[in-house]
Amino acid sequence: MRVIGTKHGPKLFINDHQYSFRDSSWSADVQEGDSENQFIIREHGLEVLRIAYPPAAVDELDPWSDEETEDFFKWVVAKQNDEEFIEMWTVE
């Protein structure tokens, strides 16, 4: 799983699937639990992927460490509708 910048904007690659950050037909969400989080992708409102994972640890001594930078899935959720991010990751 990774995000790559392309000439059409950033894309999330998961196995054989790719999700363009410019395409509003999909959405991502994180549901937080005590010992496990769930990363969920929906296409046209229907759940197509669910990944369970342990919550990321935040380093309290590192001023740059926060949930979004330590947790890839929360980062994807935060960036999916961020126009500045989308422009930055659009390769010409």
pLDDT of 65 above 60: no
Residue burial 67-86, b: 16+ Cβ < 10 Å; e: rest: ebebbebbbbbebbeeeebb
- Band of pLDDT at residue 8, cut at 50, 70 and 90: very high
- Residues 38 and 50: their CA atoms lie apart, in Å, by 6
Mean pLDDT, rounded, of the chain: 90
Convert the pLDDT of each residue in 34-47 to its tens digit: 899 999 999 999 99
At 6 the pLDDT is 96
- Band of pLDDT at residue 10, cut at 50, 70 and 90: very high
pTM: 0.84
